[in-house]
């Protein structure tokens, strides 16, 4: 069995280093506050909690689809535009299980909870990609360039 496949089945989400700490807000906090906190922390989501339990998640995708595209003001509450009862992963579950949930649901972020169902981290797709690169560096870093790709000028 290849190393990556074996590790996906054995390694627990809680064993991953440098997981993002969750940004926790309440349902009555505003979108403006969530966006400010996301910018400060350079993260793509906030977890909405009531009584230390996950009530929802608010992501960059929610901001675009449910607020900006709908013409709503940033003063609306997170309760009005969050994704309620999001899929999550326990820190005791395998990385493979987390990856499967992300793939099946098309998620870029999964809240990570402990045994008491309290959010302890956020697993991002960027962290999953780094995990794969750590296990398969030759495959990831030694890909030949795409001869059809044209470098676009960067205006700064």
Go through the domains of the chain in sequence order and give each one's CATH number: 3-136 (3.10.580.10)
Q: What torsion, rounded to 10 degrees, do the Cα atoms 125, 104, 91, 135 define? A: -50
Which positions ≥6 away from 41 have C-beta within 8 Å?
20, 23
Q: What are phi and psi of 72, to 5 degrees?
A: -90, 150
pLDDT per residue over 50-72, tens digit each? 987 899 999 999 999 999 999 99
pTM of the model as a whole = 0.83
pLDDT per residue over 78-113, tens digit each? 999 999 999 999 999 999 999 999 999 999 999 999
Q: For residue 116, is it left (φ>0), alpha (ψ between -120 and 50) or beta?
A: alpha
């Amino acid at each position: 069995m290849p190393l990556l496949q074996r590790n996906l089945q054995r390694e627990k989400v809680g064993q991953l280093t440098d997981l993002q700490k969750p940004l926790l807000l309440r349902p009555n906090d505003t979108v403006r506050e969530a966006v400010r906190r996301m910018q400060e922390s350079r993260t793509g989501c906030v977890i909405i909690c009531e009584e230390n339990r996950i009530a929802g998640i608010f992501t960059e995708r929610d901001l675009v689809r449910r607020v900006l595209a709908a013409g709503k003001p940033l003063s609306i509450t997170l309760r009005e535009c969050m994704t309620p009862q999001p899929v999550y992963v326990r820190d005791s579950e395998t990385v493979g299980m987390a990856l499967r949930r992300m793939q099946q649901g098309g998620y870029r972020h999964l809240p990570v909870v402990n045994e008491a169902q309290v959010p302890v981290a956020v697993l991002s797709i960027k962290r999953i990609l780094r995990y794969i690169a750590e296990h398969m560096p030759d495959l990831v870093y030694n890909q030949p360039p795409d001869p059809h790709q044209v470098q676009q000028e960067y205006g700064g």
